[in-house]
Amino acid sequence: IWIQTRLPPPNFSILFRPDGQNMPSSLLVVMTLQDLELVLSSGALTLGFALLYQTVKFGKYLEVLSPYGRSALTNYIMQGVIGALLFSPWALGATFGNWGVTALFILGIFIYIFQIVCSKYWLKHFLYGPLEWLWRSGTYLKLQHFKKK
């Protein structure tokens, strides 16, 4: 059945503790409920955000995120690069690794705002984000138009 549906086989190792003893069923129930809560809350947040975006009152404020979404791949990769530079021991990790949760949260908000501003500026001059253009060109096996006319 796993080959026919292309689903991965279940991981039964979670049923056992490292010492080989069976995992208590109550713990398995709690773990399952936590996973279910994660999926449901993520769906609820996504649905709520989509509904807010469709309203006239909040939609105009959320429109500022549009350029960020149009260059999502570039922003995603850049967040990884920025995170590696700030938190890796071979870069600035010694500095930022000692910051508290609140300071890191504020830093994350500033990085996010910086990316929104950069995306908006970039998309004033170009049709796509740089990695989106590369992805699109690779998909169509043809260099796509890059600059706005």
Q: How many CB atoms lie within 10 A of CB 13?
A: 8
Q: Which tokens go with 123?
A: 């998309």
Q: What's the CA gap between 15 and 27, in Å, rounded?
A: 10
What distance, in Å, lies between the first and last C-alpha atoms of the chain? 53
pLDDT digits (tens, 9 = 90+) for 52-62: 888 888 888 88
pTM (two decimals): 0.67
| Whether the Cβ atoms of residue 104 and residue 56 lie closer than 8 Å to each other | no
pLDDT digits (tens, 9 = 90+) for 71-124: 999 999 999 999 888 888 777 766 776 788 899 899 999 999 999 999 999 999
Q: Which tokens go with 72?
A: 């999502």
| Whether the Cβ atoms of residue 13 and residue 21 lie closer than 8 Å to each other | no
